[in-house]
Amino acid sequence: MPRPRTTLVALTALTAGALAAGGPASAAPAEPSPEERALAVGTGGAVATVDADATRVGLEVLASGGNAADAAVAAAAALGVTEPYSAGIGGGGFFVYYDAATRTVTTIDGRETAPLAMGAGAFLDEAGDPLPFDEAVQSGLSVGTPGTPRTWVTALEEFGTWSLSDALQGGIRLADEGFVVDETFRQQTADNEEKFRRFEATAELFLPNRALPEVGSVFRNPDLAETYRLLADKGVDPFYSGELAEDIVQTVQDPPEAAGAEEVRPGLLEGIDLALYEAPLREPTRVEYRGLEVYGMAPPSSGGSTVGEALNVLEQFPLGSLPEVPVLHHYLEASALAFADRNAYVGDPAYSQVPLAELLSDDFARERACAIDPDAALEKPTAAGNPDGEYGLCPAESEPTVGEGTEGPSTTHLTVGDAEGNIASYTLTIEQTGGSGITVPGRGFILNNELTDFTFAVADPTRPEPNLPAPGKRPRSSMAPTIVLHEGEPVLALGSPGGSTIITTVLQTLVNRIDRHMNLAEAIAAPRASQRNTATVSVEPAFIDAYGPALEALGHEFTVSEEIGAATGIEYLPGGLLLAAAEAERRGGGSAGVVHDVLGSPEAAGPDDPGLAPPLGDD
């Protein structure tokens, strides 16, 4: 790996001065203000989330001596308050953690599970046809066993230094005191207004006085504060086997529709489903890319396998020496190939054989890479490969693989790094923006609609479908929390919301940072394109403006999407510096912060300063 250039000398000198003046992170509490910043550089630890209040809560934990796991749980609890339509204890997620003491990466699978009473035809109507998607979402049938509370406890027990009670205090305070409503929160409420009005408890909580919350008003959630206090006092037992579990089951089995609202389908969740729920530790996925070790989430997430396979394919090409348009062309083609294989082979490994080792093998990547023509785009959808361990020249074309899934564009991601080098990359969700729309009465949180991530019906009876519903099964996910190391040492971490575009957002950001030599904030802000083995590429308007004609000349076709993803990340720079990066504009702008700020503002060094982008990987 090339060593950092001398442009980092000035920043390193700033670090020494900051440490001499301020002492270690635990010596004095941070005083970060709730603000939206796309870039922060400093020492003592870094946090990047989509929300300034959540970032502030995470930084307070780091400044008070907590580690990355403690701060991640605290920030996640805060996001349950300020981002209730994207995350919360009614959902689940994937937690990827690097432990600096052992130099190992471990993951926690907090994915929701199907009720034991759910079978393969759960989302079919009486005639055997798939239910309309919106009908399935807005029902108890869509609600899986939530995994988030168990994930928090597992993370703290395995990696943390704080108790759950301590980690929840910032979220409790935020729910009690409230947060200032911004345009994004109001718009998300408006987008869900029809759904929310179907359920009395949801309308009462999120439509105060039966109206949309006003921008600039303070939104409080005393019910959630009390729920957090219950968990702080008694742990997660009430959620999985006590009074709160009873409320959840009752709500799922008999959704409390508002007066006059159309009846929705009841769910299958029972007390036994909550009582049996576990958030197991799993081995991460791992690939090497340009001399870096890239770790991700294994199945039932398809994030780690699909990002990893695409990187393996891209490594067959010298992207670092290619112009922008060929780099982006190869990125789009590799993504399509990896998505074809994802759709064909990835599901819950407890229910189907996922050929993970072969999907991530270099030999399979070389075979898949031979399908990429540098001068012309593949016809989409393209066929899945055959990860059978016997590879050679490009195999004959088989039938195209479709079925990218119906994952919604919601979810949220947070990234935390502490001064010791521990990293938490955590993606959590309730699925669609607004989830199922069903709030547990008196408890202050919305239940997920994660079970609509299952494939509703078999598209091709000649091919096994790895993602049909089954008792206790975890639906396939695209969440892709990612950590990158070099020779076992931390380099960077990132992730994003966005349904199946999560995978392409993470992949494109890695290509931007490693191959296109952007700094992490620039890599996140760059215009996005998402090719998921579909006839057209989903692209942001700025991407069309910059690259559209040149890529169209190669055969790519586009569908415009106003916004793709909302990434956050951190990077360890030389000299003890940490860089935190978030979105500048997407989803209203994210929030990047450090415990001890060295730059004061991004303009102090300039976001284009090469000192913020030391070379990564092998050229």
Catalytic amino acids? Answer: 411
Query: Are the C-beta atoms of residues 56 and 75 closer than 8 Å to each other?
Result: no
Q: Decide: residue 128, CB within 10 A, 0-12 exposed, 13-18 middle, 19+ buried.
A: exposed
Give CA–CA dist 523/516, Å, rounded. 9
How many angstroms separate the CA atoms of 532 and 383, rounded?
12
Spell 345-354 as b/e; 16+ CB within 10 A means b. Answer: bbbbeebbeb
Place of tokens 């489903």: 273
Q: What is the DSSP string of 548-602?
A: HHHHHTTT--EEE-S-----EEEEE-GGG-EEEEE-SSGGG--EEEEEEESSSSG
What is the spatial distance between Cα 141 and Cα 386, in angstroms, rounded to a whole number? 35
CB of 482 closer than 8 Å to CB of 296: yes
Strand partners, 46: 417, 594
Local structure of residue 209 (DSSP, 8 states): G
Q: Quick one: tokens of 133? A: 């998607």
Tokens linked to 227:
């729920």
Residue 256 burial by CB count (10 A; 0-12/13-18/19+): exposed, middle or buried?
Answer: middle
Contact 518, 614 (CB under 8 A): no
Q: What Å distances lie between residue 211 and 190, 208, 437, 443, CA to CA?
A: 9, 6, 16, 21
By the 10 Å C-beta count (0-12 exposed, 13-18 middle, 19+ buried), 50 is classed as: buried
| Contact criterion met (CB below 8 Å) for 304 and 96 | no
Token pair for 478: 């695209």
For the chain, helix (H) and strand (E) counts, in that order, are: 21, 18
Indicate the burial class of 558 (C-beta count within 10 angstroms; 0-12, 13-18, 19 or more). Answer: middle
Q: How many residues does the chain have?
A: 619
Q: How far apart are CA 259 and CA 211, in angstroms?
A: 17
Q: Please name the helix (run of DSSP H) or strand (run of DSSP E) that holds residue 154, with its range, or none.
A: helix 148-159
Cα(404)–Cα(15) distance, integer angstroms: 46
CA atoms within 13 Å, Cβ hemisphere of 156: 22
> Rounded to the nearest 5°, which phi and psi values hold at 236?
-95, 5
